[in-house]
A and B are shown apart, each in its own frame.
Chain A
Amino acid sequence: MSRLQIENLSVRFGTGEPVVNQVSLTLQPGRMLALVGESGSGKSVTAHSILRLLPPQAHVSADSMTFEGRNLLTQTEQQLRGLRGGRIGMIFQEPLNALNPLHTVEKQISESIAVHQGLSRSATRQRVLSLLEKVRLPHPESLLGRYPHQLSGGQRQRVMIAMALANDPTVLIADEPTTALDVTVQAGILDLIKQLQQDMGLAVLLITHDLGLVSRYAEDIAVMHQGSIVEQGLTAQVMQAPAADYTRHLLAAEPGGSPPVADPNRPVHLRTKDLRVWFRQGPKTLFGRKSWFRAVDGVDSLVRRGETLGVVGESGSGKSTLAMAILRLIESRGDIELDGTRLDPLNRRAMTPWRSRMQVVFQDPWGTLNPRMTVGQIIGEGLQVHRPDLNATERAEQVATMLEEVGLPATWQHRYPHEFSGGQRQRIAIARALILRPELLILDEPTSALDRSVQHQVLELLRDLQARHGLSYIFISHDLKLVRAISHQLVVMRDGKALEQGPTEAIFRDPQHDYTRTLIDAAFSTRVHALG
Chain B
Amino acid sequence: MTFNNPVHQRQWQAFRANRRGYWSLWIFAVIFVLCMGAEFIANEKPLLVNYQGNLYVPVLQSYPETTFGGMFETETNYRDPFVRELIEEDGWIIWPLIRFSYSTINYDLTVPSPAPPSAENWLGTDDQGRDVLARIIYGFRTSVLFGLILAFASSVIGIAVGAIQGYFGGWIDLAGQRFLEIWSSMPILYLIIIISSFVTPNFWWLLLIMLLFSWMALVDLVRAEFLRCRNMDYVRAAKALGVPTPTIMWRHMLPNAMVATLTFVPFILNGAIIMLTTLDFIGFGLPPGSPSMGELLGQGKANLHAPWLGISAFVSLAFLLSLLIFIGEAVRDAFDPRKYLQ
Q: Which residues in A have some Cβ–Cβ distance to B below 8 Å?
A: 324, 327, 329, 351-353, 355-356, 358-360, 362-364, 367-373, 378, 381-382, 384-386, 416, 418, 429, 432-433, 436
* Among A352, A371, A372: residue with most chain B CB under 10 A: A372
Q: How far apart are the CA atoms of A355 and B236 in the complex, in Å? A: 12
B239 cross-chain contacts in A, Cβ below 8 A? 329
**B89 contacts the other chain (Cβ, under 8 Å)?**
no
B5 cross-chain contacts in A, Cβ below 8 A? 372, 416
Residues 1-35 of chain B, each 1 if its beta carbon lies under 8 Å from chain A, else 0: 10001110000000000000000000000000000
Q: How far apart are the CA atoms of A141 and B294 in the complex, in Å? A: 68
Distance (whole angstroms) from the CB of A362 to the closest CB of chain B: 4
8 contacts between A and B (CB under 8 A): A356-B241, A370-B251, A381-B238, A382-B243, A384-B243, A385-B244, A416-B7, A418-B7
Residue in contact with A360 in the complex, picked from B1, B240, B244, B252, CB distance below 8 Å = B240
Residue in contact with B242 in the complex, picked from A368, A385, A433, CB distance below 8 Å = A385
Given A416-B5, A416-B6, A360 contacting B236 (CB threshold 8 A): yes
Given A372-B5, A372-B255, A416-B7, A362 contacting B237 (CB threshold 8 A): yes
Secondary structure at the A interface, as helix, strand, loop or mixed, is mixed
Q: How far apart are the CA atoms of A358 and B241 in the complex, in Å? A: 9
Name the residue of chain B whose CB is nearest to the CB of A354.
B242
B7 cross-chain contacts in A, Cβ below 8 A? 371-372, 416, 418
Secondary structure at the B interface, as helix, strand, loop or mixed, is helix
Name the residue of chain A whose CB is nearest to the CB of B238.
A381
**B234 contacts the other chain (Cβ, under 8 Å)?**
yes
**B73 contacts the other chain (Cβ, under 8 Å)?**
no
Distance (whole angstroms) from the CB of A391 to the closest CB of chain B: 18
Name the residue of chain A whose CB is nearest to the CB of B236.
A329
**B242 in contact with A352 (CB, 8 Å):** yes
Q: Which residues in B have some Cβ–Cβ distance to A below 8 Å?
A: 1, 5-7, 232-234, 236-244, 251-252, 255
A382 cross-chain contacts in B, Cβ below 8 A? 241-243
Q: How far apart are the CA atoms of A381 and B232 in the complex, in Å? A: 16
Name the residue of chain A whose CB is nearest to the CB of B341.
A418
**A386 in contact with B242 (CB, 8 Å):** yes
A418 cross-chain contacts in B, Cβ below 8 A? 6-7
**A368 in contact with B237 (CB, 8 Å):** yes
Residue in contact with A367 in the complex, picked from B1, B234, B244, B251, CB distance below 8 Å = B234
**A355 in contact with B240 (CB, 8 Å):** yes
Q: How far apart are the CA atoms of A432 and B240 in the complex, in Å? A: 11
Distance (whole angstroms) from the CB of B227 to the closest CB of chain A: 15
Distance (whole angstroms) from the CB of B52 to the closest CB of chain A: 62
A353 cross-chain contacts in B, Cβ below 8 A? 242
Q: How far apart are the CA atoms of A356 and B6 in the complex, in Å? A: 31
Q: How far apart are the CA atoms of A364 and B235 in the complex, in Å? A: 13
Q: How far apart are the CA atoms of A351 and B154 in the complex, in Å? A: 36
Q: How far apart are the CA atoms of A96 and B233 in the complex, in Å? A: 23
**Other A-B pairs beyond A329-B236, A382-B242, A385-B241, 11, CB < 8 Å:** A327-B240, A360-B237, A367-B234, A370-B251, A371-B7, A378-B234, A382-B241, A382-B243, A416-B7, A418-B6, A418-B7
**A368 in contact with B241 (CB, 8 Å):** no
**B241 in contact with A370 (CB, 8 Å):** no
Q: How far apart are the CA atoms of A367 and B232 in the complex, in Å? A: 6
Distance (whole angstroms) from the CB of A498 to the closest CB of chain B: 23
B233 cross-chain contacts in A, Cβ below 8 A? 362-364, 367-368
**B242 in contact with A355 (CB, 8 Å):** yes
Q: How far apart are the CA atoms of A252 and B7 in the complex, in Å? A: 38
Distance (whole angstroms) from the CB of A406 to the closest CB of chain B: 15
**B234 in contact with A369 (CB, 8 Å):** yes
B252 cross-chain contacts in A, Cβ below 8 A? 370
Distance (whole angstroms) from the CB of A375 to the closest CB of chain B: 12
B241 cross-chain contacts in A, Cβ below 8 A? 355-356, 359, 381-382, 385-386, 432, 436
